[in-house]
Amino acid sequence: MNTLSKQIWFGFILILLSALTYYFHYLIFHDAHHIFIYMVGDIAFVFIEVFMVSLIIHKVLEEREKRTRLEKLNMIIGVFFGEMGTGLLAYFSDLDPNLDTVRKDLIVTSQWTDQEFSKVSKRLNAYSYKVEPGKLNLDELRCYLINKRDFLLTMMENPNLMEHETFTELLRSVFHLAEELKFRNDMKDLPHEDLGHIAGDIDRAYRLLVREWVAYMKHLKDNFPYFFSLAMRTNPFDQNASVIVGTIPPSCMA
């Protein structure tokens, strides 16, 4: 209320000063006709000024703020993939018996266009993401996810993620998988139904991981070529990927 009262008083003072200025103008020149001509013109321009400020300038500033938020968000997504997302993709994809049918779609190159990313995303949306439950090393996966639990919680607490529903969904699915495994102290001799339930949670996380990874790769290609280069050389789906650039000189191998 105090702030509102101050604003009202400030507005009143400004109007009063304007009226006094016009009054002094009249006392000096005694030309009310001239005063009202310019006053009407100024009032008429106010509507154009409001249009420019509220619609055009505001829209430009809003778009700039949105780009800034998205940039921060993509930095967070990059931290996630660097910390654990790429590792989970490598682990889950190794358990996917049908991966070879879509592996070529996941070998992202610097020649990819926006249309290529769009086509690949559509093809991957139709893919059935499944891991073989019998090959799961649940003790290893449980240990890995529990060690990353604090990291996941920190990510989920970030307010910037509220604007990215699909990535938030990915974090929830990975966190849920971590919680499922945390409450199972003994991973040996799990019932078939329980193992199938965990495999279903992995399938969901796997599908969301691939979707977000492709979108993140497109962002890197469009904006950060140096990060994109590293991402291509650490592609979890590329069996020939190597982080080493070029050939190691013989003197370094001695």
Q: What is the full DSSP assignment across 201-238? A: HHHHHHHHHHHHHHHHHHHHHHH-HHHHHHHHHT-TT-
Residue 1, pLDDT score: 54
pLDDT at 252 > cutoff 70: no
Structure tokens at 151: 């990291």
Mean pLDDT of the chain: 86
Could you give the C-alpha distances from 7 to 17, 46, 146, 161, in angstroms and in order? 15, 20, 53, 35
201 within 8 A of 129, measured Cβ to Cβ: no
Tens digits of residue pLDDT in 227-238: 999 999 999 999
Which pTM was predicted?
0.74
Q: What is the mean pLDDT of residues 172-199?
A: 90
User: Within a 13 Å sphere around the CA of 102, how many CA atoms are in the beta-carbon half?
Assistant: 21
92 within 8 A of 209, measured Cβ to Cβ: yes
Residue 246, pLDDT score: 57
Q: Residue 60 — very low, low, confident or very high, per pLDDT cuts 50/70/90?
A: confident
| Share in percent of the chain as helix, strand, coil (round to 5) | 80, 0, 20
Say if residue 214 is exposed, middle or buried (CB neighbours under 10 Å; 0-12, 13-18, 19+): middle
Closest CA to 136 of 76, 168, 101, 184: 184
The type of residue at 38 is: Y
Q: Residue 73 — very low, low, confident or very high, per pLDDT cuts 50/70/90?
A: confident
Percentage of the chain beyond pLDDT 70 is: 95
Tens digits of residue pLDDT in 97-118: 999 999 999 999 999 999 999 9
The type of residue at 71 is: E
How many whole angstroms separate alpha carbon 61 and alpha carbon 230?
Answer: 33
Max Cα-Cα span within the chain? 101
Q: Residue 203 — very low, low, confident or very high, per pLDDT cuts 50/70/90?
A: very high
